[in-house]
Amino acid sequence: MPNKPLAEADRVHARIALAEIPEVMEAYLVTGDYDYLVKLAVRDTDHYDGSCGNRSTAFPEYANQGQRSASERSRDRYRLS
């Protein structure tokens, strides 16, 4: 079943909540199966599991949560050439 778009009040709630998590480096409202793409900086998997991972369950209204991790950076690009 496709996700319905987040209401403005839910987007405001998400922005406020994400701003309170010190490990959040970047957050983007995106299209597709999930509403936000969030880039975190953590020391290791224990830090993620004990701190950040538990915080994602604080949003029960966001039923379709998924977590992915990257272990290697392939490319950095911050501007178009």
Which stretch of 12-21, 22-31, 35-44, 53-62 has the lowest confidence by average pLDDT? 53-62
Residue 73 within a domain: no
Residue 39 within a domain: yes
Q: What is the pTM of this model?
A: 0.65
Longest dimension (CA), the chain: 42
Residue 66 within a domain: no
Residue 22 within a domain: yes
Q: Which two tokens stand for residue 32?
A: 């597709």
Confidence of residue 39 (pLDDT cuts 50, 70, 90): confident
Exposure on the CB side of residue 47, measured as CA atoms within 13 A:
9
Residue 40 within a domain: yes
Q: Is the dihedral of CA 52, 58, 20, 36 positive or negative?
A: positive
Q: Residue 52 pLDDT > 70, yes or no? A: no
Residue 47 within a domain: yes
Count structural domains, the chain.
Answer: 1
Structural domain containing residue 52: 8-56
Length of the chain: 81
Residue 68 within a domain: no
Residue 79 within a domain: no
pLDDT for residue 4 = 67
Confidence of residue 1 (pLDDT cuts 50, 70, 90): very low
Give the residue ranges of DSSP H helices in the chain: 8-19, 45-47, 53-56
Exposure on the CB side of residue 23, measured as CA atoms within 13 A:
17
